[in-house]
Amino acid sequence: MLAGALVTRGLWPDPAGRALGLNPDDQALDEWFLAYATRAYRGDFAFVTGALNAPEGVNILGNASLIGLGLLFAPLTLAFGAPVTFAVVTGFNLAANGAGWYLLFARTAGLHRIAALVGGAFCGFAPGMVSQSNGHLHMTAAWLAPPIVWCVVMLAREQRRAVRRGLLLGGLAAAQFFLGEEVLFLTVITLGLFCLAFAATARPALRTVLPTLGTGLGVALAVVVALLAYPLWVQFRGPQSASGGVFGPAFFSADLKSFTAISPLSLAGGESAAQLASGPAEYTSFFGAPVLVVVLGATVWMWRRPSVVACTVVSIVLFALSLGPHIVVGHHRTDQRGPYALLDGLPVFEWALPARFALAAIPLLAFVVAQVVHAALTQTETLKLLVPVAVTASLVPLAPLPLPTVPRAPVPKFFTEGYWRGCAPRDGTIVPVPLPDSQDPQAMRWAAATGVAFATPQGWFIGPYGDGGHAAVGIFPRPTSRLLQRAAVNGTAPALTDADRVALRRDIAYWHASCFVLADGQKGAGALKSTLDALLGPGERVADVWIWRAPR
């Protein structure tokens, strides 16, 4: 936990007034989801909600909605607010990942504690996981992956308790679905590939393994179907569901050169490497040349160990998949198609980002590294010191730096101190000025500060607003939203027409809006106030905001 706190230390002086400098918008979205989950504690939670994108709503399951994390940490959110929960969960996920893999390596694999500690630390704080901590809590919430792996290992290792372990495995898989669905997807893919590679390498007595393993996996599948059939229907066929992936696989693919590069978020990293990824939250394949050399050397040394060989082989497959439909070298797209091209467009895969397949290789590489340290410590005197020193030397450059943070505007007292209740009823609609969207979702924090006690039009989310109902980020803004956005961007109040006033009345009725709110310090605040004064009459000063009550 100390290491997790050090990585997130930039948020701790003032969680509400600090934001992740590399991805503040996803942080605002995460905080809204964490706050929305607290509604479950008053019996008012649904997979499709009109609290965002009012009145049409948002399909929570079609977004990285942090349902599991939100419910688990809801008491903390209720007590201290979503920004504090966000800071805690960001560090907690990294530390819990490391602890989970340490226990698996030490107790299940029987590795030396020092070796298990090295492997666990790499799993928790590898550059890819630290990078994903920039607002992608659904990707770093992978601490149920080690128990899932343990269940599969025990089903294959012991010919007993198949039903009991199958029930546990199914429950863990269902829980991981709500923590992070993409993590569950990557875990299943990786486990399947590992089992195939291990079987081809070790050639175990399938007659003794398959009955127990098959029974356990069958029970687990039955549990998963029973628990997730309805949520999956809602996600893919329910209201506000969307077909197709919204993020292009060609853009979110790993650059071939990135595998030997050091992440800019690591101790030995440099900013020049940043161009090898689609963004600072996607340094998924930045393992560094020293670590890859250690893994290669360890595999050669321990080539008789099927588990080591299988881990290395599957890592190479995952690396290949992470390259996307076309291989990119040094930020240059080549004509060479990658293995992912065979999967591109398939159901489920269309939602996955190719670069994140490299994340699934982290525990595999960690196991190989831990195995070589274990072998050196327990089996040879000549390499007892040399190998751990070499491994440490390869890992030190990857040590994580604290996540960069920046100041952010505080949520107005109008919301934090409850003045909003005089503006709108509970679950009524308050229109932030200008309205939040994917370019600037910070106004979503206003509702989050109240436990999402009122609805917000528009917002930053994935919904069925692309061509033919396909997935898209956000919606087409309504006329009044476009008008206010122009005023904010240009800094001057636009000339108003009767058509603008008619559109305003229609938009108020559509949103079921109770009032409009303009916070101090908003970009173009003078132009926005003049525009709304002209549309709705003089604004009313309440606490630290201007409000305009919607006419009825």
Q: Give me the residue spans of the domains in the chain.
A: 2-16+81-398, 413-549
**pLDDT attached to residue 259:** 96
- Give CA–CA dist 262/226, Å, rounded: 44
What does DSSP assign to residue 59?
Answer: E
- Give CA–CA dist 222/124, Å, rounded: 31
Q: Please report how many Cα atoms fall inside a 13 Å half-sphere around the Cα of residue 539, on the Cβ side.
A: 24
Q: Could you give the angle at which helices 82-103 and 24-37 cross, rounded to 10 degrees?
A: 90
Extract long-range pairs of 150-156: CB within 8 Å, 24+ residues apart.
150/104, 150/108, 151/216, 151/220, 152/191, 152/195, 152/213, 152/216, 152/217, 153/108, 154/108, 155/212, 155/213, 155/216, 155/217, 156/195, 156/204, 156/209, 156/212, 156/213
Q: Which residues pair with 394 in a beta bridge?
A: none
**pLDDT attached to residue 257:** 95
Q: Which is it for strands 545-549 and 513-519: parallel, antiparallel or unpaired? A: antiparallel
Cis preceding-peptide flag for 339 (omega within 30 of 0): no
**CB crowding 453-469: b at 16 or more within 10 Å, else e:** bbbbbbbbbbbbbeeee
Nearest to 429, CA basis, from 38, 28, 56, 37: 56
pTM score of the predicted model: 0.95
Q: Which residues pair with 13 in a beta bridge?
A: none
Q: Determine contact, residues 240/463, Cβ cutoff 8 Å.
A: yes
Phi, psi (degrees; rounded to nearest 5) at 515: -160, 165
**pLDDT attached to residue 2:** 82
Kindly give the parts of the chain with pLDDT less than 50. Answer: none
What is the per-residue pLDDT across 305-315, written as a single tens digit (0 to 9) for each?
Answer: 999 999 999 99
Q: Which is it for strands 513-519 and 429-432: parallel, antiparallel or unpaired? A: parallel
- Give CA–CA dist 261/254, Å, rounded: 12
What is the per-residue pLDDT across 174-194, written as a single tens digit (0 to 9) for each?
Answer: 999 999 999 999 999 999 999
- Give CA–CA dist 80/30, Å, rounded: 16
**pLDDT attached to residue 238:** 92
